[in-house]
Amino acid sequence: MGSIVLFGPPGAGKGTQAQRIMEHCGLPQVSTGDMLRAAIQAGSPVGMDAKAYMDRGALVPDEVILALIEERLKDDDAANGVMFDGFPRTIPQAEALSHLAEITHVLAIEVPDDRIVERICGRVTCGSCGTVFHDTFNPVPSDGCVCGSFVEKRRADDNESTVLSRLSAYHEQTSPLAAWYDERGLFHRVDGDRDIGEITADLLALLN
């Protein structure tokens, strides 16, 4: 089938849909962040190279990320393709990736910014067991968390100004990239402001 690129702003439900696509297609999810952490932990040459940049607070260059991807694509589970999550972010990255993997579908889960802000800023986690609630969509039960020991925990960056800043950066990065993939007939938009099952059905229909 080839490889898939999954797009979506923070809070669009990419993680949930990625899991469902993986279960259906059998393609492993490839996240550059996860790969960096694994390579550093394994002490591989590319991992140590990446760590040197991170330790001095510098961005890991594209060539290092692409070397990690090239390594990952040699694994047995990647023989039929992978699902890229959060990569590429720029046109030069997409051009370089096209030499390493055959991209057959670029799927964008689109959710209006105001809905993203509502989703993220309403998140609250039980500090005891990690269960995630939401002020609007999944409130904490009146009798507390299922673990019996609810301790409210909210991420410091789950506030409107931070979320809007992250969304602005996302749109700036992905707009040119969306156009680049669209010119190649690979880009597909899916309305992500609906029931989870409906979104999954649309994504799988595109892949089939």
With beta carbons less than 8 A apart as the criterion, state whether 17 and 27 touch: no
Q: Confirm whether 123 is a catalytic residue.
A: yes
Q: Which residue's structure tokens are 């898939």?
A: 4
Q: Which of 20, 115, 123, 189 is catalytic?
A: 123
Q: Where are the beta strands (DSSP E) in 61-168?
A: 83-85, 103-110, 123-126, 132-134, 152-153
Instruction: Give the residue among 103, 114, 102, 87 at the shortest CA–CA distance from 173.
Output: 87
Distance of CA 189 to the CA centre of its chain: 15
With beta carbons less than 8 A apart as the criterion, state whether 189 and 105 touch: no
* Distance (Å, whole) CA 207 – CA 21: 9
With beta carbons less than 8 A apart as the criterion, state whether 36 and 116 touch: no
Classified as helix, coil or strand, 114 is: helix
Q: Which of 20, 51, 115, 154 is catalytic?
A: 154
Q: Confirm whether 37 is a catalytic residue.
A: no
Q: Confirm whether 166 is a catalytic residue.
A: yes
Q: Which of 20, 51, 166, 189 is catalytic?
A: 166
Q: Confirm whether 14 is a catalytic residue.
A: yes
Q: Which of 14, 74, 153, 189 is catalytic?
A: 14
Q: Which of 20, 89, 115, 189 is catalytic?
A: 89
Q: Which residues are catalytic?
A: 14, 89, 123, 154, 166
